[in-house]
Structure formats: structure tokens, C-alpha cells
Amino acid sequence: MAKVNPDKDGKYKLGGSKDTDLEGIDVKKYDVYTDDEKLAAAQRDFGGYTWFASYTIKDKNGNVVRELPEYTIKLDKPEGNFKLYYYLDQAANPLSYDTEDKDGKKRAKAKLKIGDPPLGSVP
């Protein structure tokens, strides 16, 4: 796991193929880490999905936080029919989202309260 430091606005930039960002996480209470093991599990269990980001949120004592106040995930939205999922407890769960334009790019914006899901999409 690698720690992700927030930018000056408190956003956690995970990057990756969909330029994924996390917003609205209290930087005084929580830390964010990338998590390749959970990403690999999602890829293994649901190979037909495109898993593009995986992270774990921990409190300042280093404990994994399974649920926390609502935060926002933003990512590049591909053209066409796009469905967003999070992976939790060995299941791919649909995640509703809104779309916004940012600097001429379409971005998907979703809300979550879960502290450690990989994110994926179809297609």
C-alpha cells in the first residue's frame, strides 16, 4: 500500500486510466492508500469489468475504516453506455453517478460511504 497525500484543496488524486479523484474526505481524520491486493481480487473475480482504481481509507491510528461520512469520487467518463461499480465482499455492486463537464472532458461523479472499495466499469 502506498499513501496518497491530499493536494492543497484536500483532494486525493489516485490518477490511473480514468484520472480518479476522491473529494470530501476529512484530511485531519483519515489517510488514503492505494491497494493493489483488492484491485487484483476484483480483477480475478470479475474479469469482464475494467477495474481502474483501488484504495483503502484508514483513520489516523492506522485502522481501516469500512464506513465514513459521504465523500465524492470523480473520474473520466468514457463515451457510450457506461456502468460504474464498486467491489466489496467479493461482489460487484452498481454505483449510480452524475455527469459533469470539466475543461471539455466529461467526468462521472458518484457518492460513497465505503472506505475500501476497488472501482470498475463496464465497458
pLDDT tens digits along 6-50: 999 999 999 999 999 999 999 999 999 999 999 999 999 999 999
Q: What is the pLDDT of residues 70-112, one digit of tens each?
A: 999 999 998 888 999 999 999 999 999 999 998 888 999 999 9
At 116, is the pLDDT very low, low, confident or very high (cuts 50, 70, 90)? confident
Q: What is the pLDDT of residue 120?
A: 94
> Which own/partner contact pairs does 48-51 have at CB distance under 8 Å and 24+ positions apart?
48/122, 49/85, 49/92, 49/120, 49/121, 49/122, 50/17, 50/120, 50/121, 50/122, 50/123, 51/87, 51/118, 51/119, 51/120
What's the pTM? 0.92
**123 pLDDT higher than 90:** no
